[in-house]
């Protein structure tokens, strides 16, 4: 059974009588009779939909500081200008009209108090950052997501299809034939039988044979061995390709073959053996290999400082630990169903819930990742390889499936937060200076106009500098 859509396991698993079968999994070959034990609303896929909806409802929309500030700031300044224009002439007999009159000073305050520079300081920086990311093939869904990216301190990764290629390949081919005069090619024999199967492990062996430019020999009388392998006749010989337990039970072989098979299995790989007429000639190991860029990306993320990396996967612990050691993940949590990934993300969030300056990001690609993507503060999906559900739920989409964009968007979001903060401080500082000059009678209407327009232009130009952030 191919359970990748539910558990994320990279290799299909064997199912026998009495085993549980998840709704939404795929029977790769042979006939299967199953008993329905739950209603449709209670199956795994339905629970995943419920998890997505629950996680999305838990995320409140981000209320931006400038929006809240402007709602109070504008009426307060208007009321202040009115009082400044009226109170000094009424209470202390100050001049109301004239170049230095309190009406002119109030008008100067209104002009410089116009929140153009203040209000535009945020959107111009956000739009500049979002468009720059889009040009690089990264879709960031809104300024709230960009802001949250700058606060991420924990990156949680799915394994299969995210840190790995998502498809098994042959990693080891060992010749163990005890007949020194044997001239048969074990891989060629295995590929001849497996070429008639659509199983991912079979495709991995056939692809390796094609890579080595081996001729695919014809096979006949091919049969499936109860989910443990295949057998057929090639060049007049009975060829069997099956798991190590199958050969342990049916075909005598040396301790050396067992040791090699156990060594490869301990490394988190799926082991297959091939024999011709009861003579084992080769041992194969198949595994889902890490993406070529995964280790580089994790190193670059850690170099940014203050970032922790975690792998959340439905695969077994041995496979997960092997991949984690190869790519350099800090922590591994294996054997997780979709609800297990959601619970793990929630646990990571609880660890930093008292610090508003931190956030948790989850990177995934499959249907089974959608609930965790929705639960995370920032959900990041692989665009090309990602499922429709993952792309719809995610806050960020890597359109080119390139993990190397992750350090880039973290740097971009951090720079964007710094730029927004600098723009706000600058805009308020300019207004404070001109306010002081106007109240002291040392300002003018033209100075207020120039200061307001100049501040707006400066924050716009500063925000556009984000287009220069590099990967």
pLDDT digits (tens, 9 = 90+) for 197-244: 878 888 999 999 999 999 989 999 998 886 678 999 998 899 999 989
Residue 2 class from Cβ within 10 Å (0-12 exposed, 13-18 middle, 19+ buried)? middle
Answer yes or no: is pLDDT of 407 > 90: yes
Answer yes or no: is pLDDT of 420 > 80: yes
pLDDT higher at 428 or 41: 428
Give tens-digit pLDDT for 240-253.
Answer: 999 898 898 888 88
Mean pLDDT of all residues in the chain? 82
Name the least confident of 198-202, 341-345, 418-422.
198-202
Give tens-digit pLDDT for 19-62.
Answer: 888 887 888 777 788 898 888 777 666 665 554 454 444 433 33
Active-site hit among 2, 19, 158, 221: 158
Q: What is the pLDDT of residue 403?
A: 92
167-289 CATH pick, 3.30.565.10, 1.10.287.1060, 3.40.1110.10, 3.20.170.30: 3.40.1110.10
What letter would DSSP give residue 32? -
Average pLDDT over residues 84-104: 76
Average pLDDT over residues 9-23: 79
Query: How far is Cα of residue 71 from the mean position of the Cα atoms in its chain?
Result: 36
Q: What is the pLDDT of residue 130?
A: 87
Q: How far is the C-alpha of 345 from the C-alpha of 372, rounded, in Å? A: 7
Average pLDDT over residues 376-402: 79
Q: What is the pLDDT of residue 56?
A: 44
Q: How far is the C-alpha of 429 from the C-alpha of 326, rounded, in Å? A: 51
138-140 β-sheet, strand order: 138-140, 396-398, 378-382, 359-364, 152-157, 308-312, 331-333
Q: How far is the C-alpha of 266 from the C-alpha of 274, rounded, in Å? A: 20
What six digits make up the tokens of 335?
Answer: 């054997």
pLDDT class of 386 with cuts at 50, 70, 90: low
Q: Residue 114 — φ and ψ, nearest 5°? A: -55, 120
Answer yes or no: is pLDDT of 7 > 70: no
Which part of the chain has CATH 3.40.1110.10? 167-289
Q: What is the pLDDT of residue 59?
A: 38
Give tens-digit pLDDT for 288-310.
Answer: 889 989 999 999 999 998 899 99
Cβ partners under 8 Å of residue 50, min gap 6? none
What six digits make up the tokens of 147?
Answer: 């802001």
Cβ partners under 8 Å of residue 38, min gap 6? 23
pLDDT higher at 321 or 118: 321
Average pLDDT over residues 61-79: 66
Percent of all residues in the chain with a pLDDT value above 90, rounded to a whole number: 28
Q: What is the pLDDT of residue 446?
A: 66
Q: How far is the C-alpha of 307 from the C-alpha of 297, rounded, in Å? A: 12
Backbone torsion region of residue 137, taken as left when φ is above 0, otherwise alpha when ψ lies between -120 and 50, otherwise beta: left
What six digits make up the tokens of 23?
Answer: 């709704």
pLDDT class of 353 with cuts at 50, 70, 90: confident
Q: How many helices (H) and strands (E) does the chain have?
A: 17, 13
> Structurally, what CATH architecture does the domain formed by 133-164+292-411 represent?
3-Layer(aba) Sandwich (3.40)
Q: Which of 350, 358, 361 is nearest to 407 (CA)?
A: 361
pLDDT higher at 137 or 416: 416
Give the helix/strand (H/E) hosting 273: strand 270-276
Q: What is the pLDDT of residue 55?
A: 42
The 3-state DSSP class for residue 408 equals helix
Answer yes or no: is pLDDT of 360 > 90: yes
Name the least confident of 31-35, 112-116, 360-364.
112-116
Which part of the chain has CATH 3.40.50.1000? 133-164+292-411
Name the least confident of 10-24, 36-50, 71-85, 172-186.
36-50
β pairing state of 359-364 and 152-157: parallel
What six digits make up the tokens of 203?
Answer: 């495709």
Whether 365 sits among the annotated catalytic residues: the reply is no
Q: What is the pLDDT of residue 344?
A: 94
Average pLDDT over residues 369-387: 82
Q: Residue 98 — φ and ψ, nearest 5°? A: 100, 170
């Amino acid at each position: 059974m191919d359970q990748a859509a539910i558990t994320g396991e990279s290799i299909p698993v064997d199912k026998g009588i009495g085993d549980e079968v998840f709704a939404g999994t795929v029977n790769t070959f042979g006939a299967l009779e199953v008993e329905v034990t739950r209603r449709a609303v209670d199956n795994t896929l339905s629970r995943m939909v419920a998890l997505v909806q629950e996680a999305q409802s838990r995320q409140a929309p981000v209320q931006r500081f400038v929006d809240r500030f402007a709602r109070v700031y504008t009426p307060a300044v208007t009321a202040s200008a009115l009082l400044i224009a009226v109170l000094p002439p009424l209470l202390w007999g100050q001049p109301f009209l004239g170049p230095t009159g309190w009406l002119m000073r109030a008008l100067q305050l209104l002009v410089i108090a116009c929140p153009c520079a203040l209000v535009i300081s945020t959107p111009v920086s956000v739009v500049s950052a979002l468009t720059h990311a889009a040009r690089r093939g990264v879709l960031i869904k809104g300024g709230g997501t960009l802001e949250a990216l700058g606060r991420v301190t924990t990156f949680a990764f799915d394994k299969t299809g995210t840190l790995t290629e998502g498809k098994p390949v042959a990693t080891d081919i060992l010749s163990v034939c005890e007949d020194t005069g044997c001239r048969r090619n074990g891989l060629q024999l295995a590929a001849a039988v497996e070429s008639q199967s659509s199983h991912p492990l079979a495709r991995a062996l056939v692809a390796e044979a094609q890579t080595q430019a081996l001729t695919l020999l014809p096979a006949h009388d091919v049969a499936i061995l109860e989910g443990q392998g295949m057998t057929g006749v090639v060049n007049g010989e009975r060829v069997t390709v099956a798991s190590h337990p199958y050969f342990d039970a049916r075909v005598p072989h040396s301790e050396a073959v067992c040791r090699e098979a156990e060594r490869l299995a301990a490394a988190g790989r799926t082991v297959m053996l091939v024999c011709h007429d009861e003579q084992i000639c080769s041992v194969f190991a198949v595994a889902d290999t890490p993406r070529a860029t995964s280790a580089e990306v994790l190193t670059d993320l850690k170099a940014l400082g203050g970032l922790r990396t975690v792998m959340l996967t439905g695969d077994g612990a041995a496979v997960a630990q092997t991949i984690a050691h190869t790519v350099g993940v800090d922590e591994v949590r294996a054997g997780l169903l979709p609800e297990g990934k959601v619970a793990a993300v929630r646990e990571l969030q609880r660890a930093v819930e008292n610090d508003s300056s931190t956030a948790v990001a989850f990177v995934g690609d499959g249907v089974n990742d959608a609930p965790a993507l929705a639960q995370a503060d920032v959900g990041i999906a692989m665009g090309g390889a990602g499922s429709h559900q993952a792309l719809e739920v995610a806050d960020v989409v890597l359109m080119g499936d390139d993990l190397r964009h992750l350090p880039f968007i973290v740097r971009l979001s951090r720079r964007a937060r710094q730029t927004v903060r600098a723009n706000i401080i600058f805009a308020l500082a300019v207004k404070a200076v001109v306010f002081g000059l106007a109240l002291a009678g040392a300002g003018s209407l033209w100075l207020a106009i120039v200061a307001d327009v100049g501040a707006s232009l400066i924050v716009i130009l500063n925000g556009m500098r984000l287009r220069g952030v590099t990967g």
